[in-house]
Amino acid sequence: MSTTFQLDTATSRANPTPAPMKRLTVPAIQRRKFEGKTEQPLVMLTAYTARQAQLLDQHCDMLLVGDSLGQVIYGLPSTLQVTLDMMIAHGAAVVRGSYHSVVIVDMPFGSYEASPQQAFESASRIMAETGCAAVKLEGGQAMAETIAFLSQRGIPVMAHVGLTPQAVNALGGYGARGRSQEEHAKIIADGQAVADAGAFAVVVEGVLEPIAVALTRSVEIPVIGIGASAQCDGQVLVTDDMLGMFERVPRFVKKYGDIAGVISETAARYAEEVRSRTFPGVEQTYQPKKK
């Protein structure tokens, strides 16, 4: 039996209550693509906190604790400053707040590139300290040996090819990839390499649509698109982007809400009531008992 979480209105803290639902597994995600086709596309969103996970979990197949938390949560200029400790803290919170989705935690820059052994040390710590089901790392052919090393030792790996944010300095920015024939071929080769190495799925980000379609058709593992194509086996977005928390977002983001506007308007009403001394009112204060 897995665990779901509800808010205790007396304490405003999440307390576990049993839920008769089994969490999805990595093999279940893999089986969604059968004979090269995925009848029902896979849904993945990022999550960084327990409460966010609670709200997203029932709607998703996978929750990604992305290193995008560096920018979204901490206001850092890129993902490069994110640490292993940060990923573990947020990964554990998301696992605690979910009961249905497969939780995948990004491996931050510098925690896996040096060697397969370094990657195993980092990945095993992530999984042990968060309870997540898998890790994600960036890179194609260059990371194939590392992916094989981890997979053979019981650590499921989701790969990430195309536009890889951790390599932004080498790529020269966040522009779409695959505009040259050479780059087109490399993205396809990268995707095939990680699939052959044992990755259970691969994210393809910021590539020309024909490349995403070709990659999806050429590998047996699920291909999760972001800025790619609706023909991929699934989709992922940064949750805060699609909720409308930020004014500037990548071109491939569709804003499904205006949460930033709701927060700003709500804070403005609160500030007005505080300054006019209409809050707190009788309902929010403790009055002497009548004798």
Report the catalytic residues: 205
Q: Binding site residues for Mg(2+), as ranges?
A: 67, 106, 138
Amino acid found at 126: I
Q: Which run of H or of E encompasses 218?
A: helix 209-218
- Nearest alpha carbon to residue 130 among 86, 166, 160, 100: 86
- Nearest alpha carbon to residue 273 among 284, 262, 258, 259: 284
Q: Binding site residues for 3-methyl-2-oxobutanoate, as ranges?
A: 67-68, 106, 136
CA–CA dist 68, 238 (Å, integer)? 8
CA–CA dist 228, 65 (Å, integer)? 20
CA–CA dist 19, 17 (Å, integer)? 6
CA–CA dist 276, 117 (Å, integer)? 61
Q: How many CA atoms lie within 13 A of 264 on its CB side?
A: 8
